[in-house]
Amino acid sequence: MAMQRALTRITYEIIEHNKGIDGLVILGIKTRGIYLAQRIANRLKQLENATVPVGELDVTKYRDDIEHDSTENDPQVTVSKIDFPLTDKKVILVDDVLYTGRTIRAAMSAIMDLGRPKQINLAVLVDRGHRELPIRADFVGKNIPSSQSERIRVAVTEIDGHDSVEIIDR
């Protein structure tokens, strides 16, 4: 229930911040961000009686903290589903955990390759701190201070069979 309440609060904050849902699109970062994005979109539909487009964004090739095969061409975003334009839209980027900021930086690079949105806002279920880049979430479900030796594990019913957020020692 705590996860559902956090997502509902984020949904209300999105509506208030954007003065409605006109021009709004939601992009979930693979993997769990996609399911959180879909839940936010469903709640927006209940509250505003309108459908907000939801897309899925894979930022793997844009990451600067993983090895890439040097024989590959320039990184291309692998998109499972973005069947709407991003140019001049208000993009809500959704992820499960905000940590160093590198995933979000990669996501913004991927988005800019797909179009030029009017604005990008970030919604995260958990902000755990320890940023390496100057990135902050606009909408946060829960701030969970953690040490760098800990890991935050988010489970969602759609793929894990249950909803939970756990702090795990590495």
**Largest CA-CA distance found in the chain, in angstroms, rounded:** 48
Structure tokens of 15?
Answer: 């509506």
3-class secondary-structure state, position 109? helix
Structure tokens of 156?
Answer: 């969602």
Using the Cα atoms of residue 107, residue 54, residue 39 and residue 20 in order, give the sign of their dihedral. positive
Residue 103: closest CA among 151, 10, 33, 16: 33
Please report, in angstroms and rounded to a whole number, the separation of the first and last CA atoms in the chain: 27
Give the CATH number of the domain where residue 100 resides. 3.40.50.2020
Tally of domains within the chain: 1
Residue 165: closest CA among 122, 126, 139: 126
In the 3-class helix/strand/coil scheme, how is 8-65 assigned residue by residue?
HHHHHHHHHHHCCCCCEEEEEECCHHHHHHHHHHHHHHHHHCCCCCEEEEECHHHCCC
Domain that holds residue 77: 3-169
pLDDT by position in tens, the chain (length 170) = 899 999 999 999 999 999 999 999 999 999 999 999 999 999 999 999 999 999 999 998 888 877 655 555 554 545 557 999 999 999 999 999 999 999 999 999 999 999 999 999 999 999 999 999 999 999 999 999 999 999 999 999 999 999 999 999 98
pTM for the structure as a whole: 0.92
